[in-house]
């Protein structure tokens, strides 16, 4: 086609799904189009036959209705309707009415089919609606070019440099150490019948053999770690990094289907990323002073920027940032126990809110509490635990985890209580729910043990879940709470923006985008009595549990991932510009493509809120 139709080509190139087409196909596209005009308030004169053409809105806006005259979508510049562009599953677009003076380009169905055959990414758009289209958006957003080695997309097998160094379980400690020396490795895998049986590291030889003056002729099975945690060779480097951070290990055996593939060390990973989380977390555990920990947490913004540049998924960013908070908390508790002496009675330090859910980002408050054994005597032990909580909360605060504005912290007496008091709290919240108090305490329905006695934590969590499971009265209150934050989207798919003030013409990605999904997942999860706390995990569990349809749960997962992804990119951009990261996003900062898919995501949230509202008769 004529080069002179650049005006039209460029318009198409800027809009999804045409942005998926290569340059040559784009240049031919204008020559396939017809141009039509519809004045405001007139009907697009193809009622009932919209499927014969794809309509691309160049200027103006339209409303799309089904045969029952129900509004399916309101569309604007760059949006498409007609052939295979259905805006709701199983709904035939029957009638279209122009809301404004509207110029449309029409593309014949046969031309679309031809393009779909040749261009898979383009064809994907014309698949099913909602979730699938959103997944398409996420994968597309993740394809943005980047130059640095990407831990997110590099499989572990690509990082393994040599065949695994292995030894039989029958070997002696001495033989094992000799082989490690000969091969110049700091760890060795013990293999029985071709399968991974154990691991031995330099540290084991030091701590379990030399320090204990153990007989080196004993079999290696005496000192090896049995059935060590391992990862499949197809896992991504990033998962390995996470794994090491979570388990605080530096040697990770990599397995493949028919045996052992090799050993991945923390060094292999840190070579690829200097501000790697393994490095940060292991650094934290070495620190004895809070000031040094603050230096580590000061690197979190860099980490976020790096991960954003590497197009990390929001889920992995959440896990990484949270694992640092966990490490700081754990280290602070260890240091406090060194300073104050061992605890007089068992206790457990519990994270609440976003830390519990593994969903922290650059800007996070403290949400934590302490559950103490019922043998706790306030007169005798009160001072100890108060000092312990103060040490940790102050430490977190000086590391940048600011005091929680609602004071949901263990330093507050009310949130540092023996198990029986905690059970009473939950009995009250669940038995006599009140909207106001639920709004404040709902963070405690997201709980995760960070440090301390596992049984205390388990007992409290099980006690709580037993009462929430299927408890319709309590769940109705929680549902009401979950509907208090609405996605910032109007009835006509327009963004509803904050007017005036510091955040004029923006929307709050956290409170109006992420919180509603987190709240929904919490209700589903408490209703089913599931132990899952992370929002994606919760949605995974309930997807098969019947609280919500599987497709609904998947759509919410995709919506959450997409909104969080945008938030991370937004915060990384702010950090790069030397601004403080926040949650307020201007629609102008989004590409047309992102805007459209954010609208899809918000629509999913609103649909699921409506379903929840109906279920609990709100």
Partner 1 sequence: MSIWKFLFNLQERRNWYLRKMPAGPLRDYYESEFPLPDTEWSQADYLALDFETTGLDKHKDEILSIGYAPIRGRSLRLGESDHYLARPVSAIPESSAVIHGILDDTASGAQPLEEALPRLLKALESKILLAHHAAVEYEFLSNACRKIYGYPFIGPVVDTLALEVRIFRAKDEPIRSGDLRLDKARSRYNLPRYPAHNALIDAIAAGELFLAQAAYRKRSRPLLLKDMTVIT
**Listed ranges 5-13, 402-410, 423-431, 539-547: which one lies at the site for partner 1 (CB under 8 A):** 5-13
Q: What is the C-alpha to C-alpha distance for residues 522 and 356, in angstroms, rounded to an integer?
A: 12
Kindly state the tokens that stand for 125. 């758009």
Least distance to partner 1 from the beta carbon of 511, Å? 35
- Specify the residue for token string 């054994």: 373
Give the closest residue to 190 by CA, choosing from 152, 141, 242, 225: 225
Do the beta carbons of residue 498 and residue 584 sit within 8 Å?
Answer: yes
Q: Which is nearer to partner 1, 107 or 369 (CB)?
A: 107
Query: Which helix (H) or strand (E) element contains residue 280?
Result: helix 277-286
Between residues 78 and 262, which has the closer beta carbon with respect to partner 1? 78
State in angstroms the smallest separation of the CB of 307 from partner 1: 40
- Which one, 43 or 424, has the nearer CB to partner 1? 43
Instruction: Name which of 98 and 303 has its Cβ closer to partner 1.
Output: 98
* Contacting range for partner 1; rule: CB under 8 A; set: 7-15, 18-26, 358-366, 547-555: 7-15
In the bound complex, what is the minimum distance in angstroms from residue 497's beta carbon to partner 1? Answer: 23
> How far is Cα 486 from Cα 488, in angstroms, rounded to an integer?
6
Q: Smallest distance, Å, CB 65 to partner 1?
A: 20
Beta bridge partners of 166: 189
- Minimum Å gap between C-beta 46 and partner 1 is 11
Q: Per CB under 8 A, does 24 bind partner 1?
A: no
By CB under 8 A, name the one of 4, 257, 291, 588 that touches partner 1.
4
Output 8 or 598, the one with its CB closest to partner 1. 8
Distance of CA 523 to the CA centre of its chain: 18
What is the Cα–Cα distance from 445 to 523, expressed in whole angstroms? 10
**In terms of CB distance, is 101 or 531 closer to partner 1?**
101
The 3-state DSSP class for residue 416 equals: strand
In the list 5, 309, 515, 532, the residue contacting partner 1 (rule: CB under 8 A) is 5
Candidate list 13, 25, 47, 103; residue touching partner 1; CB under 8 A: 103
The answer to whether the beta carbons of residues 593 and 125 sit under 8 Å apart is: no
| Rounded distance between C-alpha atoms, residue 378 and residue 383, angstroms | 8
Instruction: Considering only the stretches 1-9, 280-288, 368-376, 606-614, report the one whose residues sit in contact with partner 1 under the rule CB under 8 A.
Output: 1-9
Considering only residues 106, 273, 441, 525, which one is a binding residue for partner 1 as defined by CB under 8 A? 106
Considering only residues 27 to 66 of the shown chain, the ones binding partner 1 according to CB under 8 A are 30-39, 42, 45, 58-60
Please select the residue that binds partner 1; options are 20, 27, 86, 102, rule is CB under 8 A.
102
CA distance 602 to 492: 12
- Taking the complex as a whole, the smallest distance from the CB of residue 42 to partner 1 amounts, in Å, to 7
For residue 272, whether the previous peptide bond is cis, meaning omega lies within 30 degrees of 0, is no
Structural tokens at position 474: 């309590």
At closest approach, how far in Å is the CB of 106 from partner 1? Answer: 7
The residue within the footprint of partner 1, chosen from 6, 298, 440, 589 (CB under 8 A), is: 6
Nearer to partner 1, 76 or 406 (CB): 76
Nearest residue to 439 via CA among 480, 468, 390:
480
Q: Does 358 engage in binding with partner 1 (CB under 8 A)?
A: no
Select the span of 97-105, 235-243, 348-356, 576-584 touching partner 1 (CB under 8 A): 97-105
CB of 31 to partner 1, least distance (A): 5
Of 57 and 281, which has the nearer Cβ to partner 1? Answer: 57
Nearer to partner 1, 100 or 374 (CB): 100
Compute the least distance from the CB of residue 11 to partner 1, in Å. 8
Sheet strands (E) in 229-352: 231-232, 251-256, 259-265, 347-352
State in angstroms the smallest separation of the CB of 97 from partner 1. 14
DSSP string, 528-593: HT----SHHHHHHHHHHHSSS-HHHHHHHHHHHHHHHHHHHHHHHHHHHTTPPP-SEE-GGGS-HH
Q: At its nearest, how many Å lie between partner 1 and the CB of residue 95?
A: 18
Say if residues 54 and 29 touch (Cβ distance below 8 Å): no
Compute the least distance from the CB of residue 79 to partner 1, in Å.
15
Q: Which is nearer to partner 1, 37 or 285 (CB)?
A: 37
Least separation in angstroms between residue 59's CB and partner 1 is 5
Least Cα distance to 403 among 428, 107, 412 occurs for 412
Provide the Cα torsion 508, 509, 511, 512; round to 10°.
Answer: 90
Site residues for partner 1, window 143-182 (CB under 8 A)?
none
First to last CA, the chain: 57
Specify the long-range contacts of residues 188-191, CB closer than 8 Å, at least 24 apart: 189/164, 189/165, 189/253, 189/260, 189/263, 190/166, 190/220, 190/221, 190/224, 191/166, 191/167, 191/259, 191/260
114-124 per-residue burial string, b: 16 or more CB within 10 A, e: under 16: ebbeebeebbb
**Closer residue to partner 1, CB minimum distance, 4 or 291:** 4
**Residues 413-442 contacting partner 1, CB under 8 A:** none
Backbone phi, then psi, for 597, in 5-degree steps? Answer: -75, -30
Among the listed residues 19, 51, 63, 100, the single contact to partner 1 using CB under 8 A? 100
11 or 616: whose CB is closer to partner 1? 11
# residues near partner 1 by CB under 8 A: 27
Contact status: 101 vs partner 1 (CB under 8 A): yes
Minimum CB separation from partner 1 for residue 73, in Å?
20
Tell me which DSSP letter residue 209 carries: I
Least distance to partner 1 from the beta carbon of 9, Å? 11
Q: Based on CB atoms, which residue is closest to partner 1, 36 or 157? A: 36
Q: Tokens representing 104? A: 């449309």
Across 353-477, where does the E strand assignment appear? 368-372, 416-418, 447-452
Instruction: Using CB under 8 A, list all residues that contact partner 1.
Output: 2, 4-8, 11, 30-39, 42, 45, 58-60, 100-103, 106
């Amino acid at each position: 086609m004529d080069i002179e139709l650049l005006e039209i080509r460029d318009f198409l190139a800027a809009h999804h799904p045409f942005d998926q087409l290569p340059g040559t196909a784009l240049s031919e596209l204008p020559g396939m189009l017809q141009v039509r005009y519809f004045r405001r308030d007139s009907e697009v004169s193809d009622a009932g036959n919209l499927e014969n053409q794809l309509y691309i809105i160049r200027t103006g806006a339209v409303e799309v209705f089904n045969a029952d005259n129900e509004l399916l979508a309101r569309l604007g510049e760059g949006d498409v309707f007609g052939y295979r562009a259905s805006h709701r599953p199983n709904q035939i677009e029957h009638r279209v009415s122009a809301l404004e003076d509207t110029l449309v380009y029409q593309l014949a169905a046969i031309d679309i089919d031809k393009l779909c055959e040749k261009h898979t990414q383009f064809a994907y758009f014309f698949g099913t609606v909602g979730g699938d289209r959103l997944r398409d958006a996420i994968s597309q957003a993740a394809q943005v070019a980047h130059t640095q080695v990407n831990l997110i997309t590099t499989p572990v097998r690509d990082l393994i440099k040599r065949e695994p160094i292995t030894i039989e379980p029958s070997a002696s400690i001495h033989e094992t150490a000799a082989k490690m020396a000969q091969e110049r490795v700091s760890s060795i895998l013990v293999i029985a019948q071709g399968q991974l049986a154990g691991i031995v590291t330099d540290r084991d030889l030091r701590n379990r053999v030399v320090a204990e003056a153990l007989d080196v002729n004993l079999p290696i099975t005496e000192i090896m770690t049995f059935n060590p945690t391992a990862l499949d060779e197809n896992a991504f480097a990033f998962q390995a990094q996470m794994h090491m951070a979570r388990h605080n290990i530096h040697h990770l055996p990599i397995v493949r289907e028919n045996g052992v593939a090799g050993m991945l060390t923390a060094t292999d990973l840190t070579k690829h990323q200097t501000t790697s989380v393994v490095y940060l977390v292991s650094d934290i555990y070495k620190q004895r002073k809070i000031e040094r920990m603050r230096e580590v947490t000061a690197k979190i913004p860099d980490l976020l920027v790096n991960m954003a540049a590497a197009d990390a998924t929001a889920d992995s960013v959440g896990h990484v940032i949270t694992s640092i908070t966990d490490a700081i908390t754990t280290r602070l508790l260890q240091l406090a126990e060194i300073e104050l002496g061992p605890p007089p009675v068992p206790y457990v330090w519990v994270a609440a809110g976003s830390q519990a859910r593994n969903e922290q980002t650059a800007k996070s408050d403290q949400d934590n509490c302490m559950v103490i054994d019922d043998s706790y005597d306030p007169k005798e032990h009160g001072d100890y635990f108060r000092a312990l909580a103060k040490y940790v909360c102050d430490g977190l605060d000086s590391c940048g985890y600011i005091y929680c504005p609602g004071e949901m912290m263990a330093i507050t007496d009310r949130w540092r209580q023996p198990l029986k008091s905690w059970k009473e709290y939950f009995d009250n919240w669940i038995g006599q729910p009140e909207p106001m108090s639920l709004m404040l305490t709902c963070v405690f329905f997201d709980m995760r043990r960070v440090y301390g006695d596992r049984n205390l934590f388990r007992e409290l969590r099980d006690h709580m879940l037993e009462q929430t499971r299927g408890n319709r009265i309590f769940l109705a209150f929680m549902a009401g709470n979950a509907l208090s934050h609405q996605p910032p989207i109007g009835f006509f798919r327009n963004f509803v923006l904050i007017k005036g003030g510091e955040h004029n013409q923006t929307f709050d990605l956290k409170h109006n985008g992420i919180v509603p999904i987190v709240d929904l997942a919490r209700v589903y999860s408490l209703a089913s009595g599931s132990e899952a706390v992370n929002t994606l995990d919760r949605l995974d569990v309930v997807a098969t549990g019947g609280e919500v349809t599987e497709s609904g749960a998947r759509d919410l997962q995709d919506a959450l991932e997409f909104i969080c992804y945008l938030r991370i990119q937004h915060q990384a951009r702010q950090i790069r510009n030397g601004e403080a990261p926040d949650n307020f996003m201007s629609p102008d900062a989004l590409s047309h493509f992102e805007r459209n898919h954010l609208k899809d995501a918000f629509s999913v949230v609103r649909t699921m809120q409506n379903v929840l509202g109906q279920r609990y008769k709100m």
